[in-house]
Amino acid sequence: MNKEKDVIICRCEDVTLEEIRELIKRGYTTVDEIKRITRAGMGPCQGRTCRDLIIREIARLTGKRVEEIPMPTFRPPIKPIKLGVLAESEDD
Ligand code: FES
């Protein structure tokens, strides 16, 4: 049994620990790079579940501290909001 292959890091986009580690070993050492290749962090939760796991894995494999890993770019809306809330603002 390949543990890395069975561990899902990004549930929304079905990205495994094995895929993340392979990319880091190939030199992709930012969350944005990994996101562009795998779509990890682009799912419905917008990375709230997987972002910290990816950062921690980059830090671990590169020997850096977590604080040294650049945060990914965020696009609004930062938090999920209901479409009705957006539609209401049109009336105002
Ligand atoms: S778990 Fe990665 S985007 Fe939701």
Cβ-contact 52, 40 below 8 angstroms = no
CB 15 within 8 A of CB 9: yes
Q: Write out the two tokens for 89.
A: 């603002």
- For position 90, what pLDDT does the model report? 64
3-class state of residue 28 by DSSP: coil
Neighbours of 51 (CB within 10 A): 20
By C-alpha distance, which of 92, 53, 46 is closest to 69? 53
Distance 87 CA to ligand 1 centre (A): 26
Pocket of ligand 1 (CB under 6 A): 10-13, 40-43, 45, 47, 49-50
* CA 89 to ligand 1 centroid distance, Å: 28
Say how many Å lie between the CA of residue 34 and the centre of ligand 1: 12
pLDDT at position 1, please?
62
Give the position, in ligand 1's atom list, of the atom nearest the Cα of 47: 3
Break the chain into its structural domains and give their ranges. Answer: 3-91
Q: Which two tokens stand for residue 81?
A: 């909001």
Provide the residue-wise pLDDT of the chain in tens; the chain has 92 residues. Answer: 678 889 999 999 999 999 999 999 999 999 999 999 999 999 988 898 999 999 999 999 999 999 999 888 877 777 778 888 878 866 55
Specify the CATH number for 3-91; select among 1.10.10.10, 1.10.1740.10, 1.10.10.1100, 3.20.20.70. Answer: 1.10.10.1100
